[in-house]
Amino acid sequence: MKTLVIAEKPDMGRTIAAVIEPRAKNNRSYLEGERYIVTWAIGHLLGLAEPDAYDPKYKRWNINDLPIIPEHFKIVPNPKTKDQLKTIKELAKRCNAIVNACDAGREGQYIFALIQQQLKLRQPVKRLWISDLTAASISQGFSNLKDASEYENLTQAARARSEADWLIGMNASRAFTTRHNALLSVGRVQTPVLALIYDREKEIAAFESQTFYDVLGYFKQGQTEYRGMWQGERLTEQAKAAEIAAAVKGKTGSISKYEVKPTKEYPFKLYDLTLLQREANAKYGYSAKKTLDLAQALYERHKVITYPRTNSNYVTEQNIEGMHKTLHMLKAGPYAELALNANAGIVHKQNKSVCNPARVEDHHAILPTLKKAGTLSKEEQNVYDLVVRRFLSHFYPPAEYKVHTVLTRVEQHTFKTGIKELVSLGWKVVLEASPDKEKNSGKRGKKDEEEETEEWTEGHFELDASRPVECTKSEAKEKATQPPKSYTEGTLLKAMESAGKQMEDEELREVMKDAGLGTPATRAATIERLKKVGYIEMNGKRILVTEKGKTAIELIRHAGVELLASPEMTGQWERRLNQISKGEAAQEKFMENVKKFTFSVIEKVRRQAPASADSFGTESGSRTRKGRIGGSGTGRAGSSGSARSSAATTATLPAERAKLGDCPRPGCGGTVIEGRKGYGCTHFKQGCGFVIWKEYKGKRLSESMLKSLLSKGQTQLLTFKRADGSAVKARIVLEDAPTGRLGVQRE
């Protein structure tokens, strides 16, 4: 009999098959060769069941039915991909061994574990654990397959994560929603992240700017001219600042202190996913999700970078030889000059800034692979460029500077000057010429611009401390203290990584990495979730909390369940999950604590006074229909915990919403208008259940498509993608007018 190989996605499956069974027959949903049959999941084929799978009464949301604590969690197939699950079941019957080739991480482990559980697969299982999809890595991985039992702890951690998110998201969302008559999504990770944003915006709103004055002196000795800042207590009176400026202008001074210290700057750390997302956001404005999608495409489709969903900035000793080979590959192509001038000898096993096995858990840092990049989109090229330049920088020596510290004394007043004189550019030749290249490094602390050491770009800086200087000019500059900055996706990712702790110390932040909010793979989805439920909105790069988001956090905190919004405590939960994956903590104990906490949340919310109807802002389309509110999402990014409305979030929408058509429900008389997630009837309060979601079968329904469905019962001809990647022509049709249920009709 043959061995069944189950990859996570079709592209991965085909790539693996090309290496282990190059002559395999392509059967659309699987490939079959002499020894192996290679098939795939399509992300999550299964998920945790909705509450009504345990009892039909849970179809109606009622706080008196909470908490919902299943004795054993049920799993159900994703209806969109059930055919692929059936294919795996049939193929498994013809095989006597299985290889789990899903992504080498916690969620990939969970995807396979659910398939194995649902289909009751009894064959012995081996694990393919590789960090890139190059032919060499796949071949080596298959010659070194691991026993599945080695990853049992990781499976337990994955189950605990999913079930904990279900318990908290499902119960807390239903409790707050029913108590306050508004759809409120609550989750183990998303709520503390929302709390971070809320607290930052409150801090900004409460900030009172104070005016102060800096006095600057401009000095000259021979051909050398420099600037210094007056030293003393902060000046709050303009007259006093002007008096000092006038006292020193045109006067002769002396140098009371002059120190010159050599210093070196080493390359920034190799990328983990979060750092890559932060820098792509700072440089290109990409959202965390967009960067993840681009990196995943570079890994899966183009195979030019290693596994991106990593939380490590280091490599192991086994990676050093591969890094040298990649450097050699880069000597031909667009990076040829940088690669040819690099020094391979700098990257070796004793270089702890690169090679640190103790800091590598499941996956090493993101690296370019041996495969040359072919045709990439502009955005893919941007992310690839970040990875390649960061990689190349480690084959260069440190940048060298002389830091000059000068204290200049004039008329009893002292001025301080910091000059950073470049001696050797070193690894910084790898950086693109860009005005914000330093800003993007993520390594500088925040300082007032006038206090920063000045970069000296005019050749050699030199002073003679025994000679006098002239104060050629002076000025008093009015300044104002600045409020904290709103989060961007980049700075929010940094805060999530360290569970909200404002840590400039990189080493301390490194220690906190296993206690952050979510994981590198789920943080982007958490941010997207907060946007989707209407808790946050973007203003350029800035993340702002909405009225609905503010009210949600305030209700949670006032209910006495501050723990649910605590970044640090939730970070500790993530640390415990990490310990479970290493066999250092018990899954059962973790889940027991989660259940206790769930009971506590329900009891406290039950005693809370209902919120006023106008406390959720103008977008009150989340107001509920009595007794019927949707369930909770449990997909791959479910670390946020969620609640889905069974209405198109059109309840009590503003009257000025455009009428898109008459409600097709017989005798209704309502009109169809647009909500946040779909198109619904204005007579929902009278019991009309008509709703058409904006997303259907991978298609986004526009207003024109909606109008066509209402008037003709069908859309124009559309192109749909099958699971195997092939295309089919079909129309979306309105199958049931009273409810808005849709279907697909092929041509």
Q: Any idea which residues carry the catalytic annotation?
A: 307
Cβ pair 335, 293 in contact under 8 A: no
> Of 656, 717, 647, which Cα lies nearest the Cα of 686?
647
Which of the 8 DSSP states describes residue 100?
E
Distances (CA, A) of 453 to 204, 268, 400: 28, 20, 15
Which DSSP string corresponds to 597-649? HHHHHHHHHHTSPPPPTTTT-S-GGGBPBTTB------STTGGG-----SS-S
> Of 271, 231, 172, which Cα lies nearest the Cα of 632?
172
Buried b (16+ CB within 10 A) or exposed e, 457-490: eeeebebeeeeebebebbebeebeeeeeebbbbb
Cβ pair 657, 670 in contact under 8 A: no
- d(CA 690, CA 670) in angstroms, rounded, equals 10
- d(CA 147, CA 163) in angstroms, rounded, equals 25
**Which are the contacts of 458, defined by CB distance < 8 A and separation ≥ 6?**
none
Alpha helices in 185-307, H assignment, sequence order: 190-206, 238-248, 273-284, 288-300
> Tokens in use for 646?
């069974």
- Measure CA 540 to chain center: 18
Phi, psi of 727, deg, nearest 5: -110, 150
Which stretches does DSSP call E strand in 362-435? 399-410, 413-424
> Of 110, 52, 191, 68, which Cα lies nearest the Cα of 595?
68
- d(CA 738, CA 666) in angstroms, rounded, equals 7
Cβ pair 75, 102 in contact under 8 A: no
Reduce the DSSP state of residue 340 to 3 states and report it: helix
Phi, psi of 364, deg, nearest 5: -80, 180
The verdict on whether omega for the bond into residue 262 sits within 30 degrees of 0, i.e. cis, is no
**Quick one: 332 exposed, middle or buried, by C-beta within 10 A (0-12, 13-18, 19+)?**
exposed
Reduce the DSSP state of residue 700 to 3 states and report it: strand
> Tokens in use for 678?
């779909």
- d(CA 329, CA 184) in angstroms, rounded, equals 52
Which of the 8 DSSP states describes residue 412?
T
Q: How many CB atoms lie within 10 A of CB 249?
A: 16
Q: Which residue(s) pair with 271 in the sheet?
A: 366
